Amino acid sequence: MLTKFDDTYVDLTEIISVTYIPEDEMNEGGFRVIFRNGERAGIRCDPEAMEAALIRAGLLPVEETILLDPDTISQLDKLYAEGYRWLARDADGKLFAYRHKPEREEGDAYWDPAVSHPEEAKDLGRDAFQMVSGEDPEPFDIQEALAD
């Protein structure tokens, strides 16, 4: 299965290892890929694009660990330090951080806070943390993501 990243075509079925390399002053960041034949390649692309390609190729289960870039990890660290443990996006696209695990009845469009308190949920708008979908059956566990 050939997939194009930048100007490079990669046969994803030949990959045996993918390692995320964060951007720093010495390199531009991206992924180090090792193929079955021993060849290695550097691929520059968004972590979400790499994850989606690996899922489409059947190399990464849909429920597998999400690849997070350093900026996303930093934002999650900040929310965690503020006491938020969960992220959930409503069907209308609004994202909220919650201190306690929110609940949603099957078929509902909106997540409900587990605790009724003004500081229980924080509105994060629509653009943050695109890896969280309004169709997710469970809220995103910040602590689990930071542990990976």
- Please indicate, yes or no, if residue 21 is contained in any of the structural domains: yes
DSSP string, 111-140: -B-SS--TTSEEEEETTS-TTS-TT-SS-E
Widest CA span in the chain:
57
What global pTM score does this model have? Answer: 0.56
Residues 89 and 142 both lie in one domain: yes
Residues 77 and 14 both lie in one domain: no
**CA-to-CA distance for 57 and 5, rounded, in angstroms?**
14
**CA-to-CA distance for 130 and 49, rounded, in angstroms?**
12
- Containing structural domain, residue 32: 2-56
pLDDT per residue as tens digits for the range 74-97: 899 999 999 999 999 998 999 999
Residues 94 and 141 both lie in one domain: yes
Residues 77 and 142 both lie in one domain: yes
**CA-to-CA distance for 45 and 5, rounded, in angstroms?**
6
Residues 21 and 86 both lie in one domain: no
Q: Is 14 helix (H, G, I), strand (E, B) or coil?
A: helix
Residues 79 and 26 both lie in one domain: no
pLDDT per residue as tens digits for the range 29-75: 777 888 888 788 788 777 777 777 777 777 766 554 566 778 888 89
Name the least confident of 18-22, 135-139, 143-147.
Answer: 18-22
- Please indicate, yes or no, if residue 51 is contained in any of the structural domains: yes
